[in-house]
Amino acid sequence: MAPTETKLSAAEADAATLARLRQTIDELDAEMHRSLIERGKAIGTLIKVKGTSRPGAAFRPGREADMMRRLVARHEGALPLWTVEHIWREIITTFTRMQASFDVAVDQGVARDAMRDSARFLFGFTVALHGQPDASATINHIRESGTDLGLVSLDQPAEAGAWWRALGRSTGPRIMALSPYIRIAGRPADHASFVIAPELADPTPPDLELFAVSTISGDPRPAIAAAGGAVLAEAGKEILIALPQGTAVAALAARAGFEDVAQVGAVSRGIAIGETGADPVLYQRLDEAGVAP
């Protein structure tokens, strides 16, 4: 066989292989689109059956956390996990807004660009973002809107004070989730933040409950740590703590030396993959989370 004929045959074989791969990709794209259409129909039926247009009715942070855990468990291959997470969050947000419309208020008092990136990663590009000068303004926006979510940076300047004391009042906003939920080296939009929501109509039982407390004597940290909790933020004698669900808070308060206890939210523990330095109270290691590496 002549060299030219060999080269032509190899080129034809490559072209045929590429054509088959492109056909497979087109078929997979069509299958994904069909699945999204079917998901939309299912959400439409859910709305008719349950009715979820009232404020806070469509948010299911515990169910969303369970979806993320299952996503991590089944993921494999070259596609970065954070890319898959972002796609899923875009889908979740879109279908949640079909049930009950909302926008997102973003605390821009700290790390303005990082907070904007985190909001877009979590909620996509179809949700309107309302920039707020600080954490307190973000909480006020949520309270006044009655429907919107908020994103508040965990890292706050001293002048922010005990901003969390504005949460958890009767029918008021509260912390409902951590961001990022999946901690993994190299991921984008990894600025530590809280997702804040109006009162949820049907909250899923969380892993951790968050409390605002005032210290009255000594250092409460050892007792809080012994109870499996952590101090998340502090401003003078005011501290924000996370405790495992079901902790006997009154008894802990007596041991730790704090008072004026008010629950300001509840969250599901996130998942930490690799060496990220994630707080073990807030994040489970991958093998502890019941998912395969």
Q: What is the pLDDT at residue 51? A: 63
Whether the link from the prior residue into 280 is cis, omega within 30° of 0, is: no
pLDDT (tens digit per residue) in 193-211:
999 999 876 667 789 999 9
Q: Which residues of the chain have pLDDT under 70?
A: 1-8, 50-58, 201-203, 287-293
Q: What is the pLDDT at residue 5? A: 56
Q: Which residues contact 270 (CB under 8 A, 6 or more apart)?
A: 65, 178, 180, 181, 182, 183, 278, 282, 283, 284
Report pTM: 0.87
Amino acid identity for residue 226 in this structure: A
Residue with tokens 């190299």: 186
239/215 Cα distance (integer angstroms):
8
5/3 Cα distance (integer angstroms):
5
pLDDT (tens digit per residue) in 222-278:
999 999 999 999 999 999 999 999 999 999 999 999 999 999 999 999 999 987 789
CB 68, CB 211: distance < 8 Å: no
User: How far is residue 217 from each of residues 128, 170, 176, 232, measured CA to CA in Å?
Assistant: 45, 28, 30, 19
Burial (CB count within 10 angstroms: exposed 0-12, middle 13-18, buried 19+), residue 7: exposed
